[in-house]
């Protein structure tokens, strides 16, 4: 076995999220914002904070929305009611309707940056990434103090692959809020993708200085050290990530890879075992553990893990190819050939499987001749 464990894509930062959502900004009081007629808009928000905390009241979201419907009916230019109704609609899972309310607020008061930010939140929940950038553009110019707009716009640009432009927006957020740890962290990962590894390391270091409990920064710095072929240096970062989030299976995967590349195969196997305990249906965890067992000469154990990985995900040609290689070493050439054939059915262009198939056929031919 020539490889210890495989990361089958470029290193990716582990960010603690499932689907990207931007926090809706709700405050008890709107800031002084002058509209295009130089009037001052400073109404009081309804007391929504207590409402959100009360579990019984949360079941009354629809009634609260109806109350704001009535308020808007009585005063169609009541921006505060649109803000509150839009927020409630977003919480109720109807972002399209929330967008309409936040858009109305922007029409009434074009310089109210929080309305842009809340609309960005609603658009993001719709996965309307392309729609978020114009809103952020509008929000940024009237009021630079709203640094969240730069942060939101940067995140949207990252999704579109515009990493250089995203770095500029993260930098602006940092200029406005120098203590914002995640802005450094996200900017650092953009720099990794642009091969500015020194700049990335500096950003991750600064993110950790500002927030010693920033798991993403530890993981990203550890992954960068792995990329720089410093697995021993990466281990303390992954240890800290495990300490901070012991129930997150992904941090065990990162540490498991670092241990494998440090030749601590037993420790690596233990980490991937823990990953499997936390997420038993993770095919990748079985694949990685099987790869490490193979390198540690536990070939039968490797086959069992590959079996499980294929059971969970029968479309992964790489697992078939690697299981075939192990079977060939064990002398099961027929089983190996079947695996190589299956890998090529899934991916006819897999060069490794093509080469392994030819080798297995040659060995079978030699065996039959003898």
Could you give the angle at which helices 249-261 and 283-295 cross, rounded to 10 degrees?
A: 20
Structure tokens at 39: 């009037």
Higher pLDDT, 152 or 240: 240
| Cβ atoms 188, 158 nearer than 8 A | no
First-residue to last-residue Cα distance in the chain: 27
Q: What is the pLDDT of residue 116?
A: 75
- For 8-49, the pLDDT digits (tens) are 533 333 333 333 333 333 333 232 222 222 222 222 333 333
User: Residue 248: which of 293, 282, 223, 221 has the closest Cα?
Assistant: 282
Q: What CA–CA distances, in Å, run from 26 to 91, 109, 136, 235?
A: 12, 16, 17, 40
Q: What is the pLDDT of residue 113?
A: 66
User: Would the pLDDT of 144 be above 50?
Assistant: no
Concatenated DSSP letters of 148-181: HHHHHHHHHHHHTT-HHHHHHHHHHHHHH-TT-H
| Cβ atoms 356, 326 nearer than 8 A | no
Structure tokens at 150: 């730069």
Higher pLDDT, 58 or 282: 282
Please, which pLDDT band fits residue 205 given cuts at 50, 70 and 90?
very high
Q: Tell me the mean pLDDT in the region 330-334.
A: 95
Q: What is the pLDDT of residue 79?
A: 84
Task: Please tell me the distance from the alpha carbon of residue 322 to that of residue 1, in angstroms, as a whole number.
Answer: 9
Higher pLDDT, 137 or 183: 183
Structure tokens at 76: 């169609």
| Cβ atoms 173, 147 nearer than 8 A | yes
- For 100-124, the pLDDT digits (tens) are 988 888 888 776 666 777 787 777 6
Higher pLDDT, 177 or 232: 232
Q: What is the pLDDT of residue 58?
A: 47
What is the percent of the chain where pLDDT is above 70? Answer: 76
* 218 alpha carbon, distance to own chain's centre: 15
User: Would the pLDDT of 56 be above 80?
Assistant: no
Q: Tell me the mean pLDDT in the region 167-191.
A: 93
Concatenated DSSP letters of 80-95: HHHHHHHHHHHHTT-H
User: Would the pLDDT of 183 be above 70?
Assistant: yes
What is the percent of the chain where pLDDT is above 90? Answer: 53
Where does residue 104 rank: exposed (0-12), middle (13-18), buried (19+ CB within 10 A)? buried
Q: What is the pLDDT of residue 38?
A: 27
User: Would the pLDDT of 6 be above 90?
Assistant: no
Q: What CA–CA distances, in Å, run from 307 to 61, 326, 360?
A: 49, 12, 20
Where does residue 97 rank: exposed (0-12), middle (13-18), buried (19+ CB within 10 A)? middle
Among the ranges given (56-65, 294-303, 348-357), the one the predictor scored with the smallest mean pLDDT = 56-65
pTM tops 0.75: no
Q: What is the pLDDT of residue 156?
A: 75
Structure tokens at 331: 């002398």
Provide the 8-state DSSP code for 79: H
User: Would the pLDDT of 168 be above 70?
Assistant: yes
User: Would the pLDDT of 136 be above 70?
Assistant: no
Backbone dihedral angles phi then psi of residue 44, each to the nearest 5 degrees: -95, 135
- For 272-314, the pLDDT digits (tens) are 999 999 999 999 999 999 999 999 999 999 999 999 999 999 9
Q: Which residue has the tokens 């970062």?
A: 237
User: Would the pLDDT of 146 be above 70?
Assistant: no
Q: Tell me the mean pLDDT in the region 177-187.
A: 94
Please, which pLDDT band fits residue 142 given cuts at 50, 70 and 90?
very low
Q: What is the pLDDT of residue 245?
A: 95
Coil, strand, or helix at residue 200? Answer: helix
């Amino acid at each position: 076995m020539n490889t210890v464990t495989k990361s089958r894509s470029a290193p990716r930062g582990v960010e603690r999220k499932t689907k990207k959502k931007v926090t809706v900004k709700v405050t008890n009081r709107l800031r002084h914002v002058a509209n295009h007629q130089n009037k001052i808009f400073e109404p009081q928000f309804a007391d929504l904070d207590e409402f959100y905390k009360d579990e019984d009241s949360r079941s009354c979201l629809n009634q609260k929305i109806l109350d704001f419907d009535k308020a808007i009916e009585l005063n169609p230019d009541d921006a505060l009611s649109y803000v509150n109704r839009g927020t409630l609609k977003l919480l109720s899972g109807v972002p399209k309707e929330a967008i309409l309310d936040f858009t109305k607020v922007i029409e009434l008061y074009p310089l109210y940056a929080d309305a842009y930010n809340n609309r960005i939140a609603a658009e993001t929940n719709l996965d309307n990434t392309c729609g978020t950038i114009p809103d952020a553009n509008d929000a940024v110019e009237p009021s630079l103090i709203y640094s969240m707009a730069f942060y939101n716009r940067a995140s949207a640009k990252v999704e579109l692959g515009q990493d250089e432009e995203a770095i500029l927006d993260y930098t602006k957020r940092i200029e406005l809020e120098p203590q914002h740890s995640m802005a450094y962290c996200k900017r650092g990962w953009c720099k990794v993708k642009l091969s500015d590894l020194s700049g990335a390391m500096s950003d991750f270091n600064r993110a950790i200085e500002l927030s010693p409990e920033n798991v993403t920064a530890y993981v990203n710095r550890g992954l960068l050290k792995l990329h720089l072929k410093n697995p021993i240096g990466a281990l303390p970062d992954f240890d800290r990530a495990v300490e901070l989030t012991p129930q997150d299976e992904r941090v065990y995967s990162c540490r498991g890879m670092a241990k494998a590349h440090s030749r601590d195969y037993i420790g690596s196997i233990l980490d991937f075992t823990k990953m499997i305990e936390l997420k038993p249906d993770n095919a990748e965890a079985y694949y990685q553990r099987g790869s490490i067992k193979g390198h540690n000469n536990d070939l039968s154990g490797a086959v069992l893990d590959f079996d499980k990985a294929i059971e969970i995900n029968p479309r992964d040609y790489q697992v078939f190819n690697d299981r075939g290689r192990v079977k060939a070493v064990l002398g099961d050439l027929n089983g190996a050939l079947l695996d190589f054939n299956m890998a090529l059915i899934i991916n006819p262009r897999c060069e490794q499987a093509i080469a392994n198939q030819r080798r297995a056929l040659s060995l079978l031919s030699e065996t039959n001749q003898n």
